[in-house]
Structure 1
Amino acid sequence: MVAQWEPGTQYNLGDVVVYEGAQYKIIQPHRSQSDWTPPVTPALWGRLPESAWVGDQQQQQQPPPTYNQGGDQKPWNEQSSQQVHIDHEERKKNWFDLDDDRKKQLEIGGGLLGGLAALGAGYFAYKEHEKSEEEKKAQVWAFQNWLHDAQARTEEYHRNGPRGPATWILNHGRNIPQNAIAGGEEHGEPLYIARAYYEGGIMVGKASARLKKGAAIGFKHDEIDVETFEILIGDMRGLRWVDTSGHLDVQSLGATPVEGGRESDGSPIYIAQAPHHGGIHPGKASAVLDGAYIPYDGTEKKVKEYRVLCYA
């Protein structure tokens, strides 16, 4: 029989638990905390589809839910569990490309729950007052799909190991994996390379056990604290830092840069490191940015001379 999830318990690779009627499999070993429940820590737990459930519960599958269109369900942002299946191809779609019936199913069946829980109330308090309800749903949908892809990458890494010298895996909070790649240092302590979804893009920043939530990214001259993010792990023997300046010209580097993320329009962002205020700080560079941009002291700093992480 599969055990119920409990706080204060050490969970290791291969462990499966039950929480609120669903099964979750460990992604990253950790000791559980009361506020680290499986649904809100996708960097630690992967939700198993019912077809993959183990133990006694495999025989207790429920029929597919029906969706009452009468409007008496809880609002989309107050759902307690996810009851709708979302396939891989559908996750590639923009929210505004889904038909109205499918949107309603996702709303009242908890299909936006994973993204909403991971984003947290702080995100909505910070920026979402500026958006319409439909724009909020689109943001949660896009965030959730990034999170799903990141979780799949992480599960693949734990199953089969790295496929190259640099791999992005999900991380949560201030626990830094042992093989995380240092992108700089401050006050004699390493700063690691992080990225996270924000406002339609995937932004590159820094991670450290000293940061408020574990990581911080830069966006439109602000430093944004994030708790659920990807961290770059790997082996520097297969990588190197290449000096450059100003707008990034990939062809002039003499090496292939490691892609860090993308802007909301799909243009690539690369991993940079730049000196500032006595330290070396990880950040982002691209063809449209006039220098490296690093999150620092609540804002973004532009540094003209910087280095880009490339494959050796």
Structure 2
Amino acid sequence: MSAPYWEPGTAYKPGDVVQYEGHRYKIVIPHTSQSDWAPTVTPNLWGRLSDEDQGQWGGYQEKHQQPAAYQPAPEFHPPAPEGQKVDIQPEERQKHWYDLDDHRKKELEIGGGLLGAIGAAAAGYYVYKHHEKSEEDKKADSWALQNWLHDAEARLNEYKKYGPRSPAQWVLNRGKNIPPNAIVVGPEHDWMLWICRAYVDGTIQVGKASNVFEKGAVVGYDNKEIQLDTYEILVGDMHGLQWVPASGRLNVENLGLRPVEGGRDKDGTPLYIAQGPHKDAVHPGIASSKLDGAYIPYGGKQVHINEYRVLCYNY
């Protein structure tokens, strides 16, 4: 009996196989299909079956197709700018503050569309060296921070609604409540370390989370450790991931697999998730094409590690 054709608006369950554009696909993550979620463009949802063999498919093995369900921390919503009366379009959130024209900037300020330092503090967030910046730089920093918080909340809501759609996903978290399916790096003394990321000074930095930390998360930046209460934590399933050895300046092509992107530097350079040994433990940090190795937050600063591993997808 041939498999049914894939159709949007259909609730697909574990074990389902469909036909699409002349090939067969098997479900990876159960979901209700949408018109823009065809099997050819959603490899995290559908795995293409061999025309001869139905044993395996891209992404997960069948026995590992359902990672643990996410159990979030208590409900958290980043604060909207106080008295906001202006609508901010998605494409506008992708722009730098300095790319907005003066009229639009004024609309955002007067209409309450700009998160201030008080609102950032209410979000449990530390605005990096805010007092040392010019008024325009403060506005740019607040604009970037609130847009990251907005996008992070959207990622969390999507995860709650649809469940896992990839072996590695970022979800918004707060404080010391670590989700049970957060990806573990390893123990340090008698506690565990997980992977986190957060906005700092126009960048998205990767660091470590633990329920023993003062606020829940620590990232490195400007050769300092920064304690944060509001951050994203990496959740997923290591059956779809692996750590790949690297050294010195990262050459992504030499990894042989696609690395999981962790963040971005100020100039847009991708920062990838690294782990490296230090002080009898393995710590998460960053690696990139512009760094001379991996850097991890430790002991109040960033520590350089030449030999490290990078988190990559298995496919």
Scaled to the shorter chain, the TM-score interval is 0.7 to 0.9
Specify whether residues 274 and 149 from structure 1 end up closer, same or farther in structure 2 by C-alpha distance, changes over 3 A only: same
- For structure 1, list consecutive stretches of 5 or more residues without a partner in the other structure: 1-26, 31-42, 49-78
Among 192, 195, 207, which residue is 2:194 paired with? 192
Give the corresponding residue for 1:22. Answer: none
Corresponding residue for 1:277? Answer: 279
Match of 1:165 in 2: 167
Measured in 2, the distance between the counterparts of 1:97 and 1:249 equals: 31
CA distance in 1, matches of 2:300, 2:267: 25
Mapping for residues 77-92 of structure 1, pairs under 5 Å: 80-92=82-94
The Cα offsets for residues 126-165 of structure 1, whole Å up to 9 and x where unpaired, read as 5122210110000000111111111111111111111110
Contact 1:82 1:113 in 2 (8 A): no
Change (3 A) 1:134 1:96: same
User: Match for 2:92: what amino acid?
Assistant: E
Q: C-alpha displacement at 1:172, in angstroms?
A: 0.9
Which residue of structure 2 lines up, in the alignment, with residue 72 of structure 1?
none
Letter in 1 for 2:169: T
Determine the C-alpha separation between the residues in 1 that align with 2:195 and 2:277: 15
Partner of 1:54: none
Aligned-partner Cα distance in 2 for 1:266–1:190: 31
Q: Which residue in the other structure is 1:99 paired with? A: 101
Shift in Å at residue 211 of structure 1? 0.9
In structure 1, how many angstroms separate the alpha carbons of the residues matched to 2:131 and 2:117? 17
- Looking at structure 1, the residues matched to 223 and 296 of structure 2 have their Cα atoms a distance apart, in angstroms, of 9
Question: Residue 103 of structure 1: CA displacement?
Answer: 1.4
Cα drift, residue 115 of structure 1: 7.6
Hey, what's the Cα distance between the residues in 2 that align with 1:234 and 1:226? 22
Superimposed CA distance per residue, residues 158-216 of structure 1 (whole angstroms, 9 cap, x where no aligned partner): 11111110000101111111110012321132100000111111110001111111111
**1:5-42 Cα shifts (integer Å, max 9, x gaps):** xxxxxxxxxxxxxxxxxxxxxx9452xxxxxxxxxxxx
Question: 1:140–1:116: structure 2 CA closer, same or farther, 3 Å change rule?
Answer: farther
Distance in 2 separating the partners of 1:185 and 1:115: 35
Tell me what 1:250 maps to.
252
1:45 aligns with 2:77: yes
SS in 1 for 2:309: strand
Cα distance in 2, alignment partners of residues 136 and 231 from structure 1: 26
The separation in 1 between residues aligned to 2:102 and 2:231, in whole angstroms, is 31
- 1:292 aligns to what? 294
Distance 1:99 1:159 in 2: 36
Q: How does 1:60-139 map to 2 (within 5 A)?
A: 80-113=82-115, 117-119=119-121, 123-124=126-127, 127-139=129-141
Aligned counterparts of 1:149 and 1:122: Cα–Cα separation in 2: 15
Identical counterparts, % of pairs: 57
Q: Distance in 1 between matches of 2:301 and 2:259?
A: 25
Cα distance in structure 2, aligned partners of 1:151 and 1:115: 19
Structure number with higher helix proportion: 1
The Cα offsets for residues 31-88 of structure 1, whole Å up to 9 and x where unpaired, read as: xxxxxxxxxxxx713789xxxxxxxxxxxxxxxxxxxxxxxxxxxxxx7432221111
Q: Tell me which stretches of 4 or more aligned residues in structure 1 moved more than 4 Å.
A: 119-122
Q: Is the 8 A contact 2:125 2:229 kept in 1?
A: no
Q: Which amino acid aligns with 1:45?
A: H
Instruction: Give 1:300 deviation, angstroms.
Output: 0.4
Equivalent in the alignment of 2:65: none
Q: Is the 8 A contact 2:78 2:149 kept in 1?
A: no
Residue matched to 2:15: none
Residue 246 of structure 1 aligns to which amino acid in structure 2? G
Structure 1 residue 94: deviation in Å? 1.3
Q: CA deviation at 1:102?
A: 2.0
Structure 2 Cα separation of the partners of residues 146 and 185 of structure 1: 30
- Residue of 131, 140, 143 corresponding to 2:145: 143
Corresponding residue for 1:177?
179
Q: 1:264 maps to which residue?
A: 266
TM-score under structure 1 length normalisation: 0.73
Q: How many residues align?
A: 243
